[in-house]
Amino acid sequence: MPQEERDTVIVVINNHNDKRIMRFLFILRIKRYKDKNCFGSLPIFGGMLFLLGRIMRGYIFHFGKYWIFMKSLFLKPEKFSIYRRQVLKEMVSIGYDSLGIAMLMSVFMGAVLTIQSVHNIVNPLVPMWAVAVVTRDAVILEFSPTIICLILAGKVGSSIASELGTMRVTEQIDALEIMGINSAGYLVLPKIIAALIIIPFVITLTMVAGIFGGYLAAVATDIMTPQTFMRGILDDFLVFNYVFAMIKTVSFAFVIASIASYQGFFTKGGALEVGQSSTRAVVWGNIMIIILDYVLTQLLLS
């Protein structure tokens, strides 16, 4: 092989999209020119741009398909009594069954936050009750609505995606559509409504649990007296902080339920694909929560 063609880079990309398996084989030859011609690297950049275009096309496709799916939820609605029963059932599954882990995480999160805040206060002019203020605001503004929703995206999102994915691969959804039932509206809409209703209540309880955890840590380790901690909790409380947290929570609840439902509803294949859909639901749910957290914070607090 000539000296200028001895290096070859082979990139194989397998992209599974619905029933199609698109395989692209790119052979990018990197030639070494004796005169160090800079144009020898152009095939590399061309291949990278081509790959980026393929990836972006897939994202745009799923983005449009997601919103078409959201629109289909309201076509051919069922009776209100049917939705009411389904919503109550989903509220138990999404909220009540997740309350234990959410409360446990919040208690220890508030306790750790209090201890770390005390450790970082080195200025003797800062009063100790300021630690309680930091714990309260951090729990309400960020830790409870964001961190707990990330946990719920793992628990609730994977559960929804695996449930709908199993129904799809076992042809239960196809049976509903044959009977003339809007399967998306019947199966997915109650989950989204239930998430929008129950998750804010769960987050509110985790706020109380987080502050209580900070209180226990402060009192049990003699960091401060109960009266000092309560003074910090009640000092200059802004109701807008709670309203802002609820706005974020409702947005995150919609993301968790809708993305998980989308991934599970369009599952194709068997048990392996159900697991992959569940994984994608958790990953994309977490990504969108982080992005929305930044956007809403920039819009409402800047």
Quick check: 87 and 197 in contact, CB under 8 A?
yes
> What per-residue confidence (pLDDT) applies to 43?
62
pLDDT of residue 271: 86
What pLDDT digit, counting tens, does each position of 151-172 carry?
Answer: 999 999 999 999 999 999 998 9
List CB contacts of 121: < 8 A, sequence separation 6 or more: 128, 130, 131
Mean pLDDT of 120-137: 83
Using the structure block, give the residue that is written with the tokens 């599952």.
Answer: 267
How far apart (Å, rounded) are the C-alpha atoms in residues 190 and 90? 7
Tokens of 76: 């051919």
Label residue 238 exposed, middle or buried (CB < 10 Å: 0-12, 13-18, 19+): exposed
Largest Cα separation within the chain, whole Å, is: 82
- Measuring CA to CA, which residue among 301, 264, 51 is closest to residue 164? 264
Query: pTM for the whole thing?
Result: 0.79
| Cα separation, 272 vs 137, whole angstroms | 43
